[in-house]
Amino acid sequence: MQNMVLSNSGHLRDDVAAKMGMWLFLFTELLLFGGLFLVYTIYRILNPEAFLLASLELNVIMGTVNTIVLLTSSLTVAMSITAMQKGNIRLSLILLYLTILAAVIFLVNKYFEWNAKIDHGVFPGMDHYNTLEPGEKLFFFLYYFMTGLHALHVIIGAVFIGFVVAFIRKQKITPGRYMLLENSGLYWHLVDIIWIFLFPLFYLIH
Amino acid sequence: MSIAASHPSSFYADKRGILSWIFSTDHKRIGLLYFYAIFAFFLVGVVLGLLMRLELIAPGRTIMEPQIYNQVFTLHGVIMIFLFIIPVIPAIFGNFFLPIMIGTDDVAFPKINLLSWWIYVIGAIFALLTLVVGDGPADTGWTFYAPYSVKTGTNVTLAVLAAFILGFSSILTGLNFIVTIHRLRAPEMSWFRMPLFAWALYATSWIQLLATPIVGITLLMIVAERVFGIGLFDPALGGDPILYQHLFWIYSHPAVYIMVLPAMGIISEMIPTFAKRTIFGYRAIVWSSLAIAFIGYFVWGHHMFTSGMSGPARVVFSLLTFLVAVPSAIKVFNWVATLYQGSIDVRTPLLYTMAFIFQFLIGGLTGLVNGALATDVHVHDTYFVVGHFHYVMFGGTAFAFFGAMHYWFPKMFGRMYNERTANTAFTLLFIGFNILYFPMLVVGIMGMPRRYYDYLPEFHLPNVISTIGSWILAAGLILMIANLIVARRKGAIAGRNPWGGVTLEWQTPSPPPQHNFDETPRLSEKGPYDFDLK
């Protein structure tokens, strides 16, 4: 009886389990950023004026463009899943390429945004940064830390979707078996929703 | 691994060679990998603890400089907390027995299970690197309190990264267990027919999942602060060190329930088996596990009564802390009530269970002394806290771990140990433990502060007694380990069910076959502890 397989074996395919696992992982990601949001809130309350002054330095246009890009990419990844469910593999792939393109645009935009600040010496350890008052320093540090961690998640999400693309091409993901695609979409929505909170906190609140 | 009493279909016999172990996705093999690694780190932690006790045998410098002492107690804390007591029961016995006890053949994500083992290994390597590079291991205490942790020249960054990585491993194990329990229970096993160990792991897993990310991000902030010189938690630069303490304890207080809940689950398994009757108040124990996990989130502030907190906040945290005592007490009452009128069979695991209840009682009640505002001001940061913590963690969790080792040893390795020797080792451990830690409670009340390598002459006698206790404890440990090693090689064949247990792991051969069961496991309609089931 060595090879008896139970009906509830952990080695069988279980889409519900895969999705549940992804949701649980997303909870941990939310709490990871939650700690940062807490720190941000407390220092904002402690240094309202410095945070206001520093936030005026950020480029609202670039932030808005990135918000639009990221929101659109959430749409494309959701459409890609629907396309796969309906059996249109070609369209699903195209929509995933668009999602990855949006991720790249977001990161390039972010690069120019950071670069402009670093050119002005606004980075921990640089001259201009050192002349700022403590509250403004904290604001910029949190800005780099939180948007940096978010950018890292954009990269991870894009790589994840890249793997999904490869799996679709190898026909490991098919209209009958697309849980990995759906999970990559869930992850991408998380990346999106965190940005939806980062954007007003840093760019819009005055 | 041929020395295990392996019948042809045992999981030891399935594949051979080191690679078949370190890249195995089988939950039993991963559990054993954790077992050897975690036990090794436990021994390292024990040696560090013995060195600290030796230093404290007399006032003044005895065997090490103050700075070395600071590093030794930090390393002792980091290893014992992050490498031993947080993973010990879920990663070893959870991995090995959770799937068997709920009647399935593996966890929901076997590959992620292997990944979490490798992440544990990487985290452990980071922790060990602090020993050999730079200015030596951190000297901050395992709590890494800012702003000192930001300023010291020792290897705080590496140690903090190690804790961060180990947290990741813990998250993945918790995630795996939650999905396993939701999806893979045997067809007739409804939620309330699940063994209590599985329930304890379920509650624990939620804490692992929801609390660990907070400390993860907090530790990353410490790293960033050290690298970029920001004043996030440094008051000189506009930061708030109290905020660090809040963030740290938002994780690290729930973490003590990660440490103790699985131990309570093990006790709830062993008591019915050795009392030969169903557990008293099954549902009360289930709900108390969940209640402890839930309330445990809201009590972190009791670590900070003396570090600056408003009066109302302190009262609320103190009240909530007292509330946790209620579900803990419910469990103790239920265990004792189960023994009442049972046909008690006094075997080695039951001795450890009794020691657990006794020591957990002392640990729990001294916890209330810390949780009350007026007394906490007096005992905060004294040896009373050290004594309390070790009564709960060593006297509680580690004794439950030893008990579980003796309870499940025949199942894991297929052989039986010498019970007489095991009982002798237990006696030494029990006596040594109490001689070691009880004087700490006394000397703490007298006012001896913790984390100092030196003390006033009037604290001399209790410290000598305590150090002697540490030697008895060490002797007990050595005897226990030697006994189990001998049993592993030469013990008598144990058979399926040496204790007469009724949970599913006793229905399968010892050691279990590759797919855990050789016949479909049978469940009783009367719940997991039905001793009438034949």
Burial class (CB in 10 A: 0-12, 13-18, 19+), B111: exposed
* Among B residues 497-516, those touching chain A with beta carbons less than 8 Å apart: 513-516
Interface membership of B254 toward A (CB under 8 Å)? no
The pLDDT value given to residue B525: 86
Question: Rounded to an integer, what distance in angstroms lies between the CA atom of residue B169 and that of residue B178?
Answer: 15
The nearest CA of chain A is from the CA of B233 a distance in Å of 10
- pLDDT (0 to 100) of residue B484: 97
Chain A hits for B179, Cβ within 8 Å: 17, 20-21, 24
Task: Provide the pLDDT for residue B1.
Answer: 41
Chain A interface, best mutation among B98, B183, B189, B193, by max A CB count within 10 A: B183
Q: Considering only CB atoms, which chain B residues are within 8 Å of A31?
A: 210-211, 213-214
Rounded to the nearest angstrom, the minimum Cα separation between A9 and chain B is 5
Give the residue-averaged pLDDT of B9-16: 84
- Structure tokens belonging to residue B305: 């009564």
Which of B:109-128 have CB within 8 Å of A? 109-110, 112
- Confirm if A142 and A40 have CB atoms less than 8 A apart: yes
pLDDT tens-digit readout, B159-179: 999 999 999 999 999 999 999
A21 to chain B: which residues are within 8 Å by CB? 108-109, 112, 175-176, 179
Closest approach of A132 to chain B, Cα-based (Å): 11
List the alpha helices (DSSP H) in B380-448. 383-392, 399-413, 419-446
Instruction: Select from A4, A5, A24 the Cβ nearest to the Cβ of B518.
Output: A4
Q: Which residue of B has its CA nearest to A30?
A: B213
Size of interface A-B (CB pairs under 8 A): 140
Residue B5 pLDDT class (50, 70, 90 cuts): low
- Interface contact A35-B217, CB threshold 8 A: yes
CA pair distance B420, B410, nearest whole angstrom: 16
pLDDT tens string B13-54? 878 888 999 999 999 999 999 999 999 999 999 999 999 999
The nearest CA of chain A is from the CA of B439 a distance in Å of 39
- Determine whether the interchain pair A134/B237 forms a contact, defined as Cβ–Cβ distance below 8 Å: yes
Q: Tell me, what's the pLDDT at A2?
A: 47
Looking up tokens 């459409």 gives A79
Residue A27 has pLDDT above 90, yes or no: yes
Q: Is the CB of residue B7 less than 8 Å away from at least one CB of chain A?
A: no
| Whether B232 and A25 lie within 8 Å, measured CB to CB | no
- Contact of B173 with chain A, judged by CB distance below 8 Å, is answered with no
Domain locations in chain B as residue ranges: 11-507
| B232·A46 Cβ contact <8 A | no
Q: Write out chain A residues lying below 8 Å of B96, CB-based.
A: none
Mean pLDDT of B191-200: 96
User: Please, what are the domains in chain A?
Assistant: 16-204 (1.20.120.80)
% pLDDT > 90, chain A: 84
Tokens read off for B510: 């010892």
> What's residue B534's pLDDT?
54
Nearest to B260 by CA among B101, B398, B82: B398
Q: What is the mean pLDDT of residues B437-463?
A: 96
Question: Are A138 and B230 an interchain contact pair (Cβ–Cβ within 8 Å)?
Answer: yes
Residues B152, B130 contacting (CB under 8 angstroms): no
pLDDT of B6 = 60
Average pLDDT, integer, range B221-225: 90
Contacts of B185 in chain A (CB under 8 A): 8
> Of A4, A5, A138, which is closest to B232 when you measure between CB atoms?
A138
Q: How confident is the model at residue B229 (pLDDT cuts 50, 70, 90)?
A: confident
Scored b (16 or more CB within 10 A) or e, B512-531 reads bbbbbbbeebebbeebbbbb
When the pLDDT of each residue in chain A is averaged and rounded to a whole number, the result is 93
Q: Which residues of A touch B108 (CB under 8 A)?
A: 10, 14, 17, 21
Q: Which chain B residues are within 8 Å of A14, Cβ to Cβ?
A: 108, 183
B210 and A28 in contact by Cβ < 8 A?
Answer: yes
Tokens 């131990």 correspond to: B263
pLDDT at B172: 97
Stretch B200-220: mean pLDDT: 94
User: Which residues make Cβ contacts (< 8 Å) with residue B191, sequence separation at least 6?
Assistant: none
Start-to-end C-alpha separation, chain B: 34
Residue of B nearest to A13 (CA): B108
Q: Which residue has the tokens 């009530």?
A: B337
d(CA B366, CA B363): 5
CB contact under 8 A, A6 and B186: yes
How far off is chain B from A123, nearest CA to CA, in Å? Answer: 9
Query: What is the CATH code of the structural domain delimited by B11-507?
Result: 1.20.210.10
Burial class (CB in 10 A: 0-12, 13-18, 19+), B140: buried
Q: How many CA atoms lie within 13 A of A195 on its CB side?
A: 28
For chain B, percent of residues with pLDDT exceeding 90: 86
Tens-place pLDDT, residues A53-73: 999 989 999 999 999 999 999
Cβ within 8 Å, pair A141-B517: no
The answer to whether B502 and B533 are in contact (CB under 8 A) is yes
Taking the mean position of all CA atoms in its chain, how far away is CA A206? 24
Contact between B110 and A10 using a beta-carbon 8 Å cutoff: yes
Nearest CA in chain B to A141: B230
> B228–A141: do the CB atoms touch at under 8 Å?
yes
Residue A104, number of CB atoms within 10 A of its CB: 13
Enumerate the residues of chain B whose CB falls inside 8 A of the CB of residue A2: 8-9, 513-515, 518
B2, pLDDT greater than 50: no
Q: What is the percent of chain A with per-residue pLDDT over 70, rounded to a whole number?
A: 98
- B239 interface with A at CB cutoff 8 Å: yes
Residues of A in contact with B177 (CB under 8 A): none
> Which residues does chain B have within 8 Å of residue A5's beta carbon, measured at their own beta carbons?
105, 515
Would you say B41 and B78 are in contact if contact means Cβ atoms under 8 Å apart?
no
| CB-based contact B106 A1, cutoff 8 Å | no
Phi, psi (deg, nearest 5) at residue B382 = -110, 180
Nearest CA in chain B to A20: B179
Structural contact between residues B409 and B39, judged by C-beta atoms closer than 8 angstroms: no
B179 and A20 in contact by Cβ < 8 A?
yes
CB contact, 8 Å: B184 with chain A? yes
Task: Give the one of A10, A31, A135 whose C-beta lies nearest to B106's C-beta.
Answer: A10
Confidence of residue A3 (pLDDT cuts 50, 70, 90): low
